[in-house]
Chains A and B, each alone.
Chain A
Amino acid sequence: MDRYVITSTRVGEIGTAFVAGPSDDIDWLLEGGFIQRSDTHPSKGAKLTNKPDAPTSKKD
């Protein structure tokens, strides 16, 4: 899922995450320079709620 950052005060506080509503046109907002895609990825230390590789049992 793409994440976006606000780049214009017309949309909100610059630098904060843009949370799209159901009627928001993301392409239009990107083209107009109001938001941009965030290239920030979760840090390696970020905890996952469900760890996909975690063993389900400690017994092998």
Chain B
Amino acid sequence: MATSTYLSNPIVSIGAVDISDQCTSANLSQKIMALPDNAFGSTATSFTAGLQDNTLTLELYWSTAATETYATFKALVGTKIASVTIKGTSAATSATNPLGTLANSYLEELPVVYSLGELSRCTIVLRGGTFAWTEV
């Protein structure tokens, strides 16, 4: 049965900074917009590839300690982040452990939730940019 189960090992890095131990979820949407290219005579809808429209949503614990979540993201709001990488495990990059790289994605906001009796969290959404998988 060909399934992949990741219990705790995904690696998420913002540039050279490994933020994995603050991250509880990484939701990647690799998307290329569909442009209708129908014409008279078409008998079914048809599309061609448009622009990439990628999104990476990270759920993080909110820590303001040195070199933690706050220190990592405070200066990135409203900027394009040169490189964000995500990988299933810390093992070497390979065809079965591909490295995804989102380049020049935009961080619009840094929303923080403080709740009584809970670990504070923030969910950041990296929008746009170019995404590619690497297998070597």
- Are A and B genuine complex partners? yes
Q: Is there contact, CB below 8 Å, between A29 and B15?
A: yes
Q: Is there contact, CB below 8 Å, between B75 and A34?
A: no
Q: Is there contact, CB below 8 Å, between B82 and A34?
A: no
Task: Choose from B17, B18, B19, B66 the contact partner of A29 (Cβ within 8 Å).
Answer: B17
Tell me, in angstroms, the Cα distance from A8 to B67 when the chains sit together. Answer: 7
Q: Is there contact, CB below 8 Å, between B103 and A34?
A: no
The verdict on A51 contacting chain B, using a C-beta distance below 8 Å, is: no
A residues less than 8 Å from B75 (CB atoms): 28, 31-32
Given known A-B contacts A23-B82, A25-B82, A32 and B16 have beta carbons under 8 A apart: no
> Using a CB–CB distance below 8 Å, which chain B residues touch chain A?
15-19, 66-67, 71-72, 74-76, 82-83, 103
Q: Is there contact, CB below 8 Å, between B67 and A24?
A: no
Q: Is there contact, CB below 8 Å, between B76 and A28?
A: yes
Chain A interface, number of residues (Cβ within 8 angstroms)? 17
The verdict on A41 contacting chain B, using a C-beta distance below 8 Å, is: no
Given known A-B contacts A28-B76, A32-B72, A32-B75, A21 and B67 have beta carbons under 8 A apart: no
Tell me, in angstroms, the Cα distance from A54 to B96 when the chains sit together. Answer: 55
Q: Is there contact, CB below 8 Å, between A10 and B17?
A: yes
Q: Is there contact, CB below 8 Å, between B71 and A29?
A: no
The verdict on A33 contacting chain B, using a C-beta distance below 8 Å, is: yes
A residues less than 8 Å from B66 (CB atoms): 8, 33
Closest partner residue, chain A, to B19 (CB atom): A10
Task: Choose from B16, B71, B74 the contact partner of A24 (Cβ within 8 Å).
Answer: B16
Q: Is there contact, CB below 8 Å, between B15 and A24?
A: yes
Tell me, in angstroms, the Cα distance from A34 to B19 when the chains sit together. Answer: 12
Closest partner residue, chain A, to B66 (CB atom): A33
B residues less than 8 Å from A11 (CB atoms): 16-18
10 contacts between A and B (CB under 8 A): A10-B19, A11-B17, A23-B82, A23-B83, A29-B16, A32-B74, A32-B75, A33-B66, A33-B67, A34-B67
